[in-house]
Amino acid sequence: MNVPPLERILIVEDDPDIRTIAAFALEAVAGLEVRTCASGLEALREAERFAPRMILLDVMMPGMDGPATLAKLRLLPGFERTPVVFMTAKVQPDEVEKYRQLGVVEVIAKPFDAMTLGDAVLFIWSRVAGARLES
């Protein structure tokens, strides 16, 4: 079973420093094509242009937060099943369960380790894409 490569990932994060580090880790280390957005609204526009295979989405952002962005993303043609990973500092079990019920495939806790972020993302992708191939 060959899992298709992840190739393109969209990072949605309002903090510029975190955005920079996450993008660099995924580009230079994981070898992915990355685009970044600073808000949910920007992400909805960019998603249609960039067609990412996976989206890293900050939960708490000014304006449209992560859950609201996810809900609107699901209404876009072609994004009904795009794997979305939440990034958040709020990772109590009940909070994570709530995120999963919204349809995210994984939750990455903040602060994350920039050195291992690429491996973590690739692992999540292989799990999700592999499961979809089997189904």
Which residues make up the interface to another protein (CB under 8 A)?
14-15, 17-18, 20-21, 23-25, 27-29, 31-36, 50, 60-62, 89, 110-112, 114-115
CA–CA gap between residue 16 and residue 39 (Å, rounded):
11
CB of 131 to another protein, least distance (A): 26
Going by the DSSP 8-state scheme, the letter that residue 117 receives in this structure is H
Cβ distance to another protein smaller for residue 44 or 59: 59
CB 35 within 8 A of CB 11: yes
CA quadruple 29, 34, 80, 75: dihedral positive or negative?
positive
CB of 96 to another protein, least distance (A): 17
Cβ distance to another protein smaller for residue 80 or 119: 119
